Amino acid sequence: MRILGQLILSLATLAQPAATGTITGHALFSGTPPAPAALSTSKDSACVRLVGQTVRAEDFLVGRGGGLQNVFVYIKSGVDPSAAFETPAMPVTLDQVVCQFSPHVLGVRMGQPLEINNRDPLLHNVHGHAVENQEFNIGQPVQGMRYTRTFTKPEVMVGLTSDIHPWMTAYVGVLTHPFFAVTGADGSFTIAGVPPGTYAVEAWHERLGTIALDVTLGADQTTALAFQFTSR
C-alpha cells in the first residue's frame, strides 16, 4: 500500500501544470484623438425616450496618458497546437442595454456559450457578420429575452450590428485558447497563466488596425508589452 501511495503521489506530481507566466501591458494612442462621436438614435423613438437623442460612440476611446480602450489583445501564434484547454461552461454575456451593446469588444472561447440579452423594454436585433463561422440574425422583441450562440471556428473578429438600430456595433474575438484580454479605460490588459514559450501577440483595434509583437516568456515571469497606435 505504501508503494502504491508513493506511485499515486508521483503521478499526481507529474500531472501538475508547469509554472506559467503573465503578459501584461498597455495599448496606447499617440497624437490628438478625435472627440467621441455622438450617434443619433432618432431612427427609433423608443430609444429616444429611453436614452435621449444621442449615445456616445465607443469605437475610439482614449483615456489619460493615451490609454486606448476596447483593444482586443491575444496570442496569435506560438501556442502548442497539441495543448488542450478546458472550455468554460459559463457563458460570456453581451447585453443590449440603453440602446447599446455592452461590452463593445469581448472575447469568447470556441464552443463557449455567448449569451445575448435584451435589457431594454423595446425590440432589439443582433446581426452577426461571421466569416469563418455561420452568420446569424435574430430578433429579441421582449425585455428579458436571451439568445445563446456558440462558435465552431476561431475568428478575430466577428462583427455585430443591429438592423433596427444602425448605431449599435460590437465585436467578438473567438479563440481556441484562453490567452486574450480587452483593454480597459486606461489601455491596460493582463493575460495570465501563459505557458513558457515564444509567442506573437496581436492587438486589434476596429479603426486603427493591428499591431503584432513577439515575446519570449519564462516560467513565473511577467513581461510587459506596449502597443503604440497612431492614426492611419
CATH code at position 58:
2.60.40.420
Cβ pair 187, 28 in contact under 8 A: yes
- The count of domains in the chain is 1
How far is residue 8 from each of residues 1, 14, 17, 18, 19, measured CA to CA in Å?
Answer: 10, 10, 16, 18, 21
Q: Tell whether 90 is covered by a domain.
A: yes
Is cis: bond before 168, omega within 30 of 0? no
Sheet containing strand 188-194, strands side by side: 188-194, 21-29, 222-229
Cell 508503494 maps to which residue?
A: 3
List of residues 6+ apart from 23 with CB closer than 8 A: 75, 179, 190, 191, 194, 199, 201, 215, 217, 222, 223, 225
Q: Tell whether 202 is covered by a domain.
A: yes
Q: Tell whether 212 is covered by a domain.
A: yes
Q: Tell whether 8 is covered by a domain.
A: no
For residue 67, the enclosing domain spans: 19-229
Instruction: Give me 221's grid cell.
Output: 515571469
Strand partners, 95: 102, 117
Q: What is the pLDDT of residue 208?
A: 96
Q: Tell whether 55 is covered by a domain.
A: yes
pLDDT in tens, the chain (232 residues): 444 444 333 333 333 456 899 999 999 999 888 888 999 999 999 999 999 999 999 999 999 899 999 999 999 999 998 888 999 999 999 999 999 999 999 999 999 999 999 999 999 999 999 999 999 999 999 999 999 999 999 999 999 999 999 999 999 999 999 999 999 999 999 999 999 999 999 999 999 999 999 999 999 999 999 999 998 7
Alpha helices in 129-210 (DSSP H): none
User: Model's pTM, two decimal places?
Assistant: 0.90
Q: What is the pLDDT of residue 102?
A: 97
Question: What is the three-class DSSP state of 205?
Answer: strand
AA identity, residue 89 = A
Quick one: CA dihedral 192, 198, 202, 203, positive or negative? positive
SS (H, E, C) 47-83: HHHHHCCEEECCCCCECHHHEECCCEEEEEECCCCCC
Q: Tell whether 71 is covered by a domain.
A: yes
Cβ pair 140, 147 in contact under 8 A: yes
